A and B are shown apart, each in its own frame.
Chain A
Amino acid sequence: MSSREDILGRVRASLHRNAGNAATAREVMAAALANRNPGPQPAVASEPRALLERFRVKSEQASSTVEIVATEAEVPAAIAKYLAAMSLPTTAVAWASLGALDWAGAGLSVEARGARDADLVGITGCFCAVAETGTLMMTSSPDTPAAVSLLPETHIAVVRAARIVAYMEDAWNLARDELGSLPRAVNFISGPSRTGDIEQTIVLGAHGPYRVHLVIVEG
């Protein structure tokens, strides 16, 4: 007997599985799988200004830094200013989805490709953002590779204010509507990588980025 059959067989025996109770259980399962009602959620005000403000506050609590700009055209200059203020390199890897921005005009050298170990700055967008916890939702695709938000020491994410939702459950519904099925990787990111494994002292930059900077585009 295969291990699969052995394990499932013992589970079935423990549950006294038979054709009758299997049919009932399958109905219960189908209902559970179709249920889109969220569980209890903490209150999050849903008007756009409040969502943006909550997202900003929660992101900062997660040790991200936040800047708000009016239009997407202002993004390259805002990022150039941040990099200069932090004495960081002006060369970066970015998602192809951001390739159309005028990076060179802001004095930045930005390549749209997958990330390599030597990349020090990674610039990404995000699929959406969750106000409840100050979280970015990244969905992987050829144009939005996962490693750009992971390998570089600095991760900069461009967030459109209109894409800030209240809860993670809203993000799932957006993904179902817009992507159909889940992509290979959904990464929720809340601040820089960290560890507390030595004496429970929090240190930023364990294996991923040391710093996460968010540029929120209002328009």
Chain B
Amino acid sequence: MEIKSMRFKANAEASLANVVLQGNLKNAKGKFVTKRAEAIKEIDDFEGTRDAAAAIRNKVIDNLDLWLERFETRAQETGAKVMWAKDGAEVCRLVTEIARKHGVTKVTKSKSMLSEEAGLNQALEAAGIQPVETDLGEYILQVDNNEPPSHIIAPAVHKSLDEVADLFHKVHGTPRKTEIPALTREAREVLRGHFLTAEMGLSGGNFLVAETGSVALVTNEGNGRMVTTLPRVHVVITGIEKVIPTLEDLSTLMRLLPRSATGQSISNYFSILTGVKKPEEHDGPEHLYFILVDAGRADVVGGEFHEMLRCIRCGACMNHCPVYQTIGGHAYGWVYPGPMGSVLTPLYAGIENAIDLPHAATLCNQCGVVCPVKIPLPELLRKLREKQTDAGLRPLVERIGLRVWAWVAQRPALYGLGARVGARYLKWLAGEDKSIRLLPAAQEWTNGRDFPAPQGKTFRELYAARQKSAKEAA
């Protein structure tokens, strides 16, 4: 997928000015938050479960090479083929080759964020193979000129019922429906035909189980089951970091993933798929392929951002992020929005291609508190900011400004004088209102809110005065 993260500020401004989008975001806001808060009450030892989940993920990532080899061996023993892809381009090449080999003309897809990273749909179309997104949200976006998702588990959360009604009326050529169940039924009927005729099913993978060589898939709609049950060929595209040791570990992680994502105790369908169908079986694929994808992950292993590899893609961080809630997912400009996206995009797509994202956060730590695998997201965002500064990637004005500040801050007398002058100037600027409506050189601050002015004395003056009175009292 093309990276548009360098346009974050312009995208965010456009999102804020988009009245329809703001209405949709306001409507969505808080629903996931409330449901999650209810669902985690069912877990007696929630913090202990988070600790256990983080430990499971760490265990594998700390020795990822060996766990990958172990998974590969087990998967091959079950009859699956295991392939490796360095980047999105290689994913596209491998999937196209598999499709050609099996004479595939149509691919039904269950949701795969990695296929979004790779731009797989465009590559399949270019090769004359029809990709059909079958998750309702992803389907809505695909028929709307391949609009990118704005959320990792609710891809069309930015769209209203009215917009979907217009879209289906236009695309399906059916009478315009205004009820959500009727629209869902319409999509079901269109997609059922595709499920039955596609020769190949494509899915992501929530987890890869090293004990059994299986892929675990979490879905609610049943589309994940369809694409892995009906077609002759099943291709799993998944990041190399998704391995976990055992089925017991899978159960622990499943206590957290649906609750953190949608606030469900468990998703409707949870499928653990192992190997290919036996000749006497009625359903299931004859061919199973795993494509294990690097695309930036290998270089995160063992480094200062390795904790990000624990991520299980639940979306809780974005659901709880005040910035995401205000601007929506598209402004972030790549596959992954919200706090996890603001860490992943610079890591996978290049720190220089996403300068604003680590700053698109207030570091309020809502994301860190809700993360089921305890990723310290604010800390990682702060580290990315440091890296930008070290690499000289920040704007010239900011760099000069910081140098000047550092020079002054090392000279206490000068700093004290500057603070005194500044505080008095701001007090004068505020006048009787005691707040500033327009702050010169920082208009972005005061455009949306008034700036509370200092009330005359600096901290150092107040401190000195207090010390003096304390001494006099003694």
**Residue positions of A touching B, CB distance < 8 A:** 2-4, 6-8, 10-12, 14-17, 22, 25-26, 28-29, 32-33, 35-43, 58, 61-62, 113-115, 117, 133-135, 140-142, 145-147, 150, 167-169, 172, 181-201, 203, 205-209
Contact = CB atoms under 8 A, between A and B. Distances in A.
Nearest to B220: A194
Given A2-B84, A33-B246, A25 B66 contact: yes
B278 A184 contact: yes
Contacts of A113: 282
B194 to A, nearest CB: 10
Nearest to B273: A185
A141 B282 CA distance: 8
Closest 8 CB pairs of A and B: A114-B282, A208-B222, A39-B252, A206-B221, A14-B302, A197-B137, A193-B222, A145-B282
A174 to B, nearest CB: 11
A117 B135 CA distance: 19
A136 to B, nearest CB: 10
Please tell me the size bucket of the interface on B.
Answer: 35 or more
B191 A29 contact: no
A197 B229 CA distance: 23
B84 A4 contact: yes
Given A146-B284, A184-B277, A205-B188, A200 B157 contact: yes
A43 B221 contact: no
A142 B281 contact: yes
12 contacts: A6-B294, A29-B70, A38-B248, A147-B283, A186-B271, A187-B270, A189-B268, A191-B268, A199-B24, A200-B32, A203-B180, A208-B269
Contacts of A38: 248, 251-252
Interface stretch (B38-46, B378-386, B422-430, B446-454): B38-46
B174 interface: no
A185 B52 contact: no
A207 B192 contact: yes
A70 B220 CA distance: 32
A189 B214 CA distance: 18
A206 B302 CA distance: 42
Chain B CB count within 10 A is highest, among A11, A113, A141, A167, for A11
Given A11-B240, A207-B226, 12 more contacts: A29-B63, A142-B278, A168-B254, A169-B251, A185-B273, A185-B284, A186-B273, A187-B271, A188-B266, A190-B268, A198-B136, A199-B24
A207 B195 contact: yes
- The A contact surface, by secondary structure, is loop
A133 B298 contact: no
Nearest to B247: A172
Interface of B: 24, 27-28, 31-32, 42-45, 48-49, 52-53, 56, 59, 62-70, 84-86, 90, 134-137, 140, 154-157, 159-161, 164, 180-181, 183-185, 188, 191-192, 195-196, 210-212, 214, 220-223, 225-226, 228-230, 240, 245-249, 251-252, 254-255, 262, 265-278, 280-284, 292, 294, 298-299, 301-303
A115 B226 CA distance: 12
Contacts of B284: 140, 146, 184-185
A32 B314 CA distance: 25
Nearest to A198: B180
Question: Looking at B28, B44, B298, B301, which has the most chain A CB atoms within 10 Å of its CB?
Answer: B298
Contacts of B196: 117
